[in-house]
Amino acid sequence: MGTGSTGWLWFSALATVWITPVFVSIPYFGRHFQVKPDVFTAWYFASVGVGVAVWLCVSGHAADLLPGRPAVVLGIVLVGLVFGTVANSCLFRAVSLAPNPGLPPVIYSGASVIVFWGSALLANYLPRLFAQVNTDIDRFLGILLIIVGVFLTAGGWPLLKGAAIR
C-alpha cells in the first residue's frame, strides 16, 4: 500500500477495537484472580506471539517468520527485549493502577507525537535510512486533538485539577 492509501487508517481502527478488551482485562484479572500486571503482560505477549505465528502459517506466509539474516532477527529481538518490555510492562502496570483503565493508553498514545516529529527528523537527517513522511500541520493537530479529547473523555481533567491543588 502506498502512502496515499487509507489501509493504515482501517487497520488502526480495527486495532483500537481489538485492543480495548485487553486494557479492560488487566484490572479484571488483577481484581478477580490476583494476577499481577507483569504476569498478565508475559502471558498476553506470549499468546500474541504464538497467535501471529499461527496466523502467518495459516495464511500461507510461514516463510515470513524469518525476516532475513540472523542480524535482522537479533535486531528485532533486541528492540522487543529492551523497548517493548519496558514500555508494555509500564503500560500494563499503569492500567492496573489507574483510577480508570482508559487513562494510561491515552498518555501512552502521546508517543504518536514523538513518533510524528522523530520520523520527520530521521527522514530529514538520515534520508538513506528513513523514508520521507507526511508532516502536514493539520495531521499533527489532529493527533493532539485526539489525545486531548480521549484524555478528557477518560476522566483526565479532574486528575489534572487535583495535581495542581497539591
Residue 137 belongs to domain spanning: 102-166
Residues 108, 166, single domain; the answer is yes
Residues 91, 154, single domain; the answer is no
Mean pLDDT score, 62-91: 94
* C-alpha cell read off for 30: 488483577
- The answer to which of 11-20, 133-142, 146-155 has the lowest mean pLDDT is 146-155
Residues 77, 121, single domain; the answer is no
What is the DSSP code string of 62-91?
GGGGS-SSHHHHHHHHHHIIIIIHHHHHHH
Residue 1 lies in a domain: no
Residues 82, 27, single domain; the answer is yes
Residues 69, 137, single domain; the answer is no
Query: What are the tens digits of pLDDT across the range 34-56?
Result: 999 999 999 999 999 999 999 99
pLDDT of 165: 56
Residues 46, 78, single domain; the answer is yes
In the chain, the number of structural domains is: 2
Residues 29, 44, single domain; the answer is yes
Alpha-carbon gap, residue 104 to 96, rounded angstroms? 9
Phi/psi for 136 (5° steps) reads -60, 135
Residue 155 lies in a domain: yes
Nearest Cα to Cα of residue 100 among 23, 16, 19? 23
Domain boundary among 97, 121, 152: 97
